[in-house]
């Protein structure tokens, strides 16, 4: 096999099952690729070569012994650095957790280990998952493999870039307002935010508990279904986990790939497909909609009038929850501890103040201040309370829409990848990138982003978003796989094959 890093996870799994390769070979190929391109991409904060190779050898031994194996046993994966990994550093992209090594695994990580996926390392991210460009990482930005002067999206730019640059066939991300889907859109990869409660959040360092979800970052829709199937399901350690079996996601992806969508009703969201979008993004979106029609789907326009308030609602609820969550970084139990200068006998509060000042970046501080203000007495009802009411209106818009259609669609992000630094000093411009992804988090419904092609003006990937009712995640895979098959038939190859090669690229 010429270049193992080019295999999708499903292809790698097939090659393993057929005895054409080994997990050690796959993992070593990924590690070699990481060594070759990380200098340019910086997708990882920590690479665990020895640990990954040890897990790979164990997978090969299990296979040789004829033990029962998970479908993805032996296929390597990268993990966003916001998920706790026993024995591996977990920084959340923040100085305040520099050097912290968790004594336990997040449930999703425990599931990866139990299924035998070698963990290549931890991926870069905006500090505490706050951002849309990965420029808010305390450890420096990640660069978009399509154009190294551009952002890879955020907050999960590391996971998306690792998968787009063929450093890993699979990665885990987390999506609070779009951090899986928006990086997916701007890197030409597939990203899924599952139904809220469908995947355990235990061991995910929370930004905003009522919005956060862990999900797959992959190169194909089928790979996302395979990974979602593995990490999903009830977890008694997460009180918001849904105690109900997942639909058959992998079967839905396989069925969708056959390309027949007759009987399916698709709604184009009026409020998310007009003003504020780059022309090339809208053009690719419209082409994809036309392909859905060709596949037999009926397409109608659906208005969700309260979606125009989604951004404002999110930027109240999220900072409120974040400010409360981040109170635990108090320099007393773990993480950075800074002794204030010029104070002889500093109180615990003095130490906390100095440590939080040194350990948190500007965006984190901005959100702590916003959240604390919005929750303060006298303002709580006006801000937090009102935002929760509008959240209910947005959920009702989804309910009404899903009475008319099976899935809703929109472009994933308003633009293709922008230049590094372009929006760094303009928080509002940065926040606007999540215009189309945030409603799903507020309502808890699942969403997928898959590449819809390259925008004419800059030749960079655009993303297509599909949203489904809560617990109907299988629809994302059926429709996503059908669209992916139709698009690839048009392109003649997966979109990522068109990405420029990076230094050290052997492909």
Instruction: Return all residues near 2 (Cβ < 8 A) that are at least 6 apart.
Output: none
| Cβ distance to ligand GLN smaller for residue 21 or 179 | 179
Q: Residue 439, interface with ligand GLN (CB under 6 A)?
A: no
Question: Which residue in 177, 183, 444, 453 binds ligand GLN (CB under 6 A)?
Answer: 177
Q: Which residues are 407's β-sheet partners?
A: 266
Number of H helices, E strands in the chain: 16, 11
Nearest alpha carbon to residue 132 among 196, 184, 203, 77: 184
Q: Residue 85, interface with ligand GLN (CB under 6 A)?
A: no
- Which residue stretch of 69-77, 125-133, 303-311, 368-376 sits at the interface with ligand GLN (rule: CB under 6 A)? 125-133
Q: Residue 93, interface with ligand GLN (CB under 6 A)?
A: no
- Which residue stretch of 43-51, 66-74, 130-138, 283-291 sits at the interface with ligand GLN (rule: CB under 6 A)? 130-138
Q: Residue 129, interface with ligand GLN (CB under 6 A)?
A: yes
Q: Which residues are 439's β-sheet partners?
A: none
Q: Residue 179, interface with ligand GLN (CB under 6 A)?
A: yes
Strands (E), 76-117: 77-80
- Which residue stretch of 129-137, 142-150, 350-358, 442-450 sits at the interface with ligand GLN (rule: CB under 6 A)? 129-137
CA distance 160 to 156: 6
Least separation in angstroms between CB 130 and ligand GLN: 5
| Cβ distance to ligand GLN smaller for residue 207 or 368 | 207
Instruction: Return all residues near 153 (Cβ < 8 A) that are at least 6 apart.
Output: 132, 133, 134, 144, 160, 179, 182, 183, 184, 185, 186, 187, 413, 417, 433
**Which residues belong to the active site?**
80, 155, 179
- Which residue stretch of 57-65, 71-79, 170-178, 274-282 sits at the interface with ligand GLN (rule: CB under 6 A)? 170-178
Question: Which residue in 74, 102, 116, 178 binds ligand GLN (CB under 6 A)?
Answer: 178
Least separation in angstroms between CB 217 and ligand GLN: 13
- Which residue stretch of 171-179, 252-260, 379-387, 416-424 sits at the interface with ligand GLN (rule: CB under 6 A)? 171-179
Which positions from 187 through 226 interact with ligand GLN, judged by CB under 6 A?
207
Q: Residue 134, interface with ligand GLN (CB under 6 A)?
A: no
Q: Residue 74, interface with ligand GLN (CB under 6 A)?
A: no
Least separation in angstroms between CB 463 and ligand GLN: 14
Pairing mode, strands 265-269 and 407-411: parallel
CB 191 within 8 A of CB 180: yes
- Residue 384 φ then ψ, to 5°: -65, -45
| Cβ distance to ligand GLN smaller for residue 30 or 207 | 207
- Which residue stretch of 25-33, 37-45, 177-185, 333-341 sits at the interface with ligand GLN (rule: CB under 6 A)? 177-185
| Cβ distance to ligand GLN smaller for residue 107 or 433 | 433
Question: Which residue in 4, 56, 119, 130 binds ligand GLN (CB under 6 A)?
Answer: 130
CA 446 to chain centre: 12
Number of residues that bind ligand GLN (CB under 6 A): 14
CA distance 152 to 492: 25
| Cβ distance to ligand GLN smaller for residue 169 or 177 | 177
Q: Residue 318, interface with ligand GLN (CB under 6 A)?
A: yes
Q: Residue 321, interface with ligand GLN (CB under 6 A)?
A: no
| Cβ distance to ligand GLN smaller for residue 265 or 366 | 366
| Cβ distance to ligand GLN smaller for residue 29 or 413 | 413
CA 179 to chain centre: 5
The secondary structure of 123-169 as a DSSP string is E--SGGG--SSSTT-TT----BTTBTTB---SSSHHHHHHHHTTS-S
| Cβ distance to ligand GLN smaller for residue 75 or 320 | 320
Q: Which residues are 78's β-sheet partners?
A: 121, 171
CA distance 463 to 450: 5
Least separation in angstroms between CB 419 and ligand GLN: 17
Q: Which structure tokens are listed for 100?
A: 């912290």
**SS3 call for 72:** coil
- Which residue stretch of 83-91, 127-135, 198-206, 299-307 sits at the interface with ligand GLN (rule: CB under 6 A)? 127-135
Q: Residue 132, interface with ligand GLN (CB under 6 A)?
A: yes
Nearest alpha carbon to residue 70 among 6, 23, 13: 13
| Cβ distance to ligand GLN smaller for residue 8 or 124 | 124
Question: Which residue in 59, 94, 137, 176 binds ligand GLN (CB under 6 A)?
Answer: 176
Q: Element (H or E) spanning 484, and its range?
A: helix 473-491
Q: Element (H or E) spanning 46, and its range?
A: strand 44-47
Q: Which structure tokens are listed for 290?
A: 């036309």
Q: Which residues are 44's β-sheet partners?
A: 123
Q: Residue 175, interface with ligand GLN (CB under 6 A)?
A: yes
Summarize as ranges the residues that interact with ligand GLN (CB under 6 A): 129-132, 154-155, 175-179, 207, 318, 434
């Amino acid at each position: 096999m010429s270049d193992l890093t080019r295999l999708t996870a499903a292809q790698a799994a097939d090659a393993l099952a057929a005895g054409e390769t080994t997990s050690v070979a796959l993992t070593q190929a990924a590690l070699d690729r990481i060594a070759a391109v990380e200098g340019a991409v910086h997708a990882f904060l920590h690479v665990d070569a020895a640990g990954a190779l040890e897990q790979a050898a164990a997978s090969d031994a299990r296979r040789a012994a004829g033990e029962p194996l998970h479908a993805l046993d032996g296929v390597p994966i990268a993990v966003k650095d916001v998920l706790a990994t026993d024995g591996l550093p977990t920084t959340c992209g923040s100085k305040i957790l520099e050097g912290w090594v968790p004594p336990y695994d997040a449930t999703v990580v425990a599931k990866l280990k139990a299924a035998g996926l070698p963990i290549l390392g931890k991926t870069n991210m905006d500090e505490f998952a706050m951002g849309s460009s990965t420029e808010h990482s305390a450890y420096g930005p990640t660069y978009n493999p399509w154009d190294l002067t551009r952002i890879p999206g955020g907050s999960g730019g590391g996971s998306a870039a690792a998968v787009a640059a063929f450093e890993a066939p699979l990665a885990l991300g987390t999506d609070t307002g779009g951090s899986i889907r928006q990086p997916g859109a701007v890197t030409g990869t597939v990203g899924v935010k599952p139904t809220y409660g469908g995947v355990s959040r235990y061991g995910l360092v929370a930004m905003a508990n009522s919005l956060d979800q862990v999900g797959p970052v992959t190169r194909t829709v089928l790979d996302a279904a395979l990974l979602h199937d593995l990490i999903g399901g009830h977890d008694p350690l997460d009180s918001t986990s849904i105690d109900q079996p997942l639909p058959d996601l992998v079967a839905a992806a396989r069925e969708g790939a056959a390309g027949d969508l007759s009987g399916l009703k698709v709604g184009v969201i009026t409020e998310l497909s007009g003003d504020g979008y780059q022309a090339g993004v809208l053009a690719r979106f419209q082409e994809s909609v036309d392909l859905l029609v060709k596949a037999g789907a009926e397409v109608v326009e659906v208005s969700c009038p309260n979606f125009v308030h989604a951004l404002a609602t999110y930027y109240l609820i999220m900072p409120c929850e974040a400010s409360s969550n981040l109170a635990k970084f108090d320099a007393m139990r773990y993480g950075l501890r800074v002794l204030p200068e010029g104070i002889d006998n500093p109180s615990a509060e003095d130490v906390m103040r100095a440590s939080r000042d040194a350990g948190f970046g500007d965006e984190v501080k901005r959100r702590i201040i916003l959240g604390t203000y919005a929750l303060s007495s006298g303002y709580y009802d006006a801000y937090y309370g009102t935002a929760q009411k509008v959240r209910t209106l947005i959920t009702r818009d989804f309910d009404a829409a899903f009475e008319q259609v099976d899935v809703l669609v929109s472009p994933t992000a308003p633009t293709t990848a922008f230049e590094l630094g372009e929006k760094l000093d303009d928080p509002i411009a940065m926040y606007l990138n999540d215009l189309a992804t945030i409603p799903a988090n507020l309502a808890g419904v699942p969403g997928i982003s898959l590449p819809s092609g390259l925008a004419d003006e800059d030749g960079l990937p655009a993303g297509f978003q599909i949203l489904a009712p809560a617990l109907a995640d299988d629809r994302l895979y059926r429709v996503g796989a059908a669209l992916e098959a139709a698009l690839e038939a048009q392109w003649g190859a997966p979109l990522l094959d068109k990405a420029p090669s990076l230094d050290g690229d052997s492909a």
